[in-house]
Amino acid sequence: MYIQWYGQTFIKMQTKSPQNGDSNLLIDPFVVKTIGLRQPKMDADMVLMTSGKLDKNLKLSESCFLIDSPGEYESKQIFVYGISEYDGGDIPTGKIIYSIEVEDMNIVHLGQMSQKDLTDSQLEQIENADVLFVPIGGHDSLNAKQAAHLVQAIEPRIIIPIYYKFPGSKLPLDAADLFVKELGTSKVENTDKVRITARDLPQDESRLIILQP
């Protein structure tokens, strides 16, 4: 699997299976030109939206499988579980956490999450995360300290921060170095695209990967 980040909560995953060949999965795609980010190719077999609806200016094929609500879904050997986020009580915020089973891995995307603590039910559904996309930039999502707290609760094998400030971005967010400091690690991998397979998953310490859009 190849993973790229395009800013905010926008992730592209290129997956492969013996039965279905290559598949492109997009999470939270948007038209990015007005906020200082580059525009990727939008070919997709599956699109997941963690909040709101699909940008009407995006042009996707009619065969693309769109998911924008909680529930269980499957397409091309990709299994998706949409989990509601809550406001700290029992009222859903309208945002969705996704757990994705693909290529013998469990990928969790927290979206633009602002819920500080997971419920027992939420944690049970995502606690076996191999790869975790976690927002860290504060403003209207988790800040660095809150994100580090959730990472400790979930214990993923690979941590990939999203929704943070980087050179060229016009968003009012904190930079990634605050999150790195909160995690207390000096082992950071910086790249613009990463390949991850089940056999390469770390068995002891978690990997922290900082992606550049």
**Cα–Cα dist 37/122, whole Å:** 32
Which pLDDT score is estimated for 203?
87
Of 137, 98, 97, whose CA–CA distance to 115 is shortest? 97
**Cα–Cα dist 15/18, whole Å:** 11
Which pLDDT score is estimated for 188?
94
Token pair recorded at residue 140: 């209207």
In this predicted model, what pLDDT tens digit does every residue of 149-185 receive, in sequence order? 999 999 999 999 999 998 877 788 999 999 999 999 8
Of 79, 155, 100, 88, whose CA–CA distance to 123 is shortest? 155
- With a cut of 60, say whether residue 34 has pLDDT above it: no
| Domain enclosing residue 48, as ranges | 2-211
- With a cut of 60, say whether residue 197 has pLDDT above it: yes
Q: For residue 47, what is the domain's CATH number?
A: 3.60.15.10
CB within 8 A of 113, min separation 6: which ones?
85, 95, 97, 134, 135, 141, 142, 150
